Structure 1
Amino acid sequence: MKTRLLSLCCAMSFGLLAAGAMAAAPLKIGVAAEPYPPFSIKNSNGQWSGFEVELVNRLCQEMKTQCQITEVAWDGIIPSLQGKKIDVIFNSMSITPERQKVIAFSKPYYYTDAMFVGAKGSKLDLSPAGLHGKTIGVQSSTTNANFVQKRYAQGVNIKYYNTQDELNADMAAGRIDVMLLDALAADLYLSSKDGANLESKGLAPRDPVFGPGIGAGLRKQDVALKQQFDAAIGKLLKNGSYDAIQKKYFKISVAPK
């Protein structure tokens, strides 16, 4: 009897230890390997910072969950989620009907407009007719790319880029006539040395293709995790924590509408 009880106790202890180890496994937060300032910034030591990195760390703290930033390629970020290489996408991913067919999203945690940027002093008519024969650049696999394809498919040369840095470089070098990117990222770039010869050409019109904002991407079956993110986002929006974080990076509010 004592042997059986000892065996049972050992088995129970092992089970509790295993459960504790599983509970302690960090949540893998997927971000694109290519930095996207000011949302995700990587220093020379490989450490990540930025608005989204700070926000997700605060959300994990609120959820009492360990989190680990995990780099993946942007164009493979959804397959990485589905293949369980990461647990969450937290990388400026717009909530769209197409993406909602394959993954779930938390409630929106930020929203910004899209901005056209071109050379200083250049006169651009941003209508489809006005850009006929000209080249517009945009980062691929984004809602900005979807908007450009929808609005400028006829008569306008569309050039797609894997990263925003590559797009910025071609715009600065004059290899394209105009680019479309997130308005906050555009403001940051225009205030830098590299963007000194560029300027805003105006905001893109609101369009359903842009969706309701940016959300955390999750596997559809991870219902409990989605509920945790929704609750944590809501709490940070209400208790002032969100506002304190965003003011470090932006002059205007990016809180979801």
Structure 2
Amino acid sequence: MMTMLPAQAADQKPLKVASDVPYEPFEMQRPDGTFTGFEVDLVNAICEQMQRRCEWVKQGWDGIIPGLQARKYDFIASAMSVTPDRRKQVLFADPYYAVPSLWVAPDDSDIDDVSGDLAGKKIGVQRATVQDNYVTQHYPKAEIRRYATADDLATDMSAGRLDLTFITGPLAQDVLINRGNFRQLGEPVSKPKSIFGDGIAAAFRPRDRALVEQFNQALHKVEQNGTYDRLMHQYFDYDIHPDTTQ
């Protein structure tokens, strides 16, 4: 999908944006191949503000940073949390949203909380995410099952092949809780910062500082002119602004 183009941008080379879809409600792909979702719509608005064409590229999560480093695309916009480890590989723009992660269990599960070690329990996570890092660090006695996509994770959860899953809150609502037979377990999780980072942001190659500055300027204009809040309320009934006070 390309953004609507201002006339002065018509001759510029498109900026290619990588995203791992589907990851509802942030990134989704319509039957015609075009992209939609909160993050997609937000980045499209930022691209318009930059007066640049943006072209979306589907890229699996496992290879999304290597693909950026190999110059397959210009930046990543794919619900990527800003973490210390990732800062060693990419240059992040300013965070543009933040969401907690949730534990989800079947309605009939006998698991009441996650305060124990969950030894032997089958926990589903998406591979190489902050949720994967959190579960790996805090529940070493559990049987952790890692999935390439959130859809694959949801499929196994629905089929009864998992005891629990740990994923971002909006995704948990969309692919499990809102579809019935599942419930949130415990409180939302957003700490420690060493794992969950500073929020979610677009990721660029370290050498592209000028492009990141342009992106940040456009992001702040989109926040100031009301576009950000309009899109947020279109997709969510709660505030997802990142905490800039930390």
Q: Which runs of 5+ in 2 are unaligned?
A: 1-7
Counterparts of 1:98 and 1:214, CA distance in 2: 14
Partner letter of residue 80 of structure 1? G
Alignment partner of 2:85 out of 98, 103, 106: 98
In the alignment, structure 1 residue 175 sits paired with structure 2 residue 161? yes
* 2: CA distance, partners of 1:205 / 1:57: 27
**Percent identical residues:** 39
5+ unaligned residues in a row in structure 1: which ranges?
1-19
**Which residue of 140, 151, 159 corresponds with 2:145?**
159
AA aligned opposite 1:28: K
Partner residue, 1:62: 49
User: Which residue number corresponds to residue 254 of structure 1?
Assistant: 240
Corresponding position of 2:199: 213
2: distance between equivalents of 1:200 and 1:48? Answer: 29
RMSD: 1.7
Deviation (angstroms), 1:188:
1.6
What amino acid sits opposite 1:156 in the alignment?
A
Matched residue SS, 1:102: coil
Partner SS for 1:184: helix
Whole-angstrom CA distance in 1 between matches of 2:209 and 2:149: 31
- Give, in whole Å, the separation in 2 of the partners of 1:30 and 1:97: 21
Which deviates further from its counterpart, 158-167 or 236-245?
236-245
In the superposition, the TM-score normalised over structure 2's length comes to 0.90
Aligned to 1:85: 72
Give the alignment of 1:199-238 within 5 angstroms. 199-202=183-186, 203-204=188-189, 206-208=191-193, 209-238=195-224
- Do 1:128 and 1:156's aligned partners in 2 also have CA atoms closer than 8 Å? no
Bigger Rg over Cα: 1
Compute the displacement of 1:256 (Å): 1.1
- Alignment-derived partner of residue 10 in structure 1: none
Q: How does 1:130-145 map to 2 (within 5 A)?
A: 131-145=118-132
2:4 aligned partner: none
Q: Determine the C-alpha separation between the residues in 2 that align with 1:30 and 1:205.
A: 25
What is the total number of aligned residue pairs between the two structures?
Answer: 233
User: What is the deviation of 1:85?
Assistant: 0.6
- Deviation of 1:239 after TM superposition, in Å, equals 2.3
User: 2: distance between equivalents of 1:118 and 1:58?
Assistant: 36
Q: 3-state DSSP class of the match of 1:79?
A: helix
AA paired with 2:44? N
Secondary structure of the residue aligned to 1:24 is: coil
Cα displacement (A) at 1:191? 5.0
Q: TM-score, normalised by structure 1?
A: 0.86
* Alpha-carbon distance change, 30 to 49 in structure 1, aligned in 2, over 3 angstroms: same
- The Cα offsets for residues 126-171 of structure 1, whole Å up to 9 and x where unpaired, read as 0243x12211110001011011111011x21111111101111111
**1:86 is matched by which residue type in structure 2?**
Y
Once the two structures are superposed, the pairs formed by residues 118-129 of structure 1 within 5 Å of their partners are: 118-124=105-111, 125-129=113-117
| SS in structure 2 at match of 1:138 | strand
Contact residue 128 and residue 151 of structure 1 kept, 8 A: no
- Tell whether 2:31 aligns with 1:47: no
Question: Would the aligned equivalents of 1:30 and 1:89 in 2 still touch at CA under 8 Å?
Answer: yes
Q: Distance in 2 between matches of 1:61 and 1:22?
A: 12
SS at match of 1:180: strand
Q: 1:243 to 1:88 in 2, by over 3 A?
A: same
Distance in 2 (alpha carbons) for counterparts of 1:150 and 1:36: 24
Distance verdict in 2 for CA 1:223–1:50, change over 3 Å = same
Partner residue, 1:76: 63
The aligned counterpart of 2:176 is 190
Relative distance call for 1:163 and 1:224 in structure 2 (3 A) is same
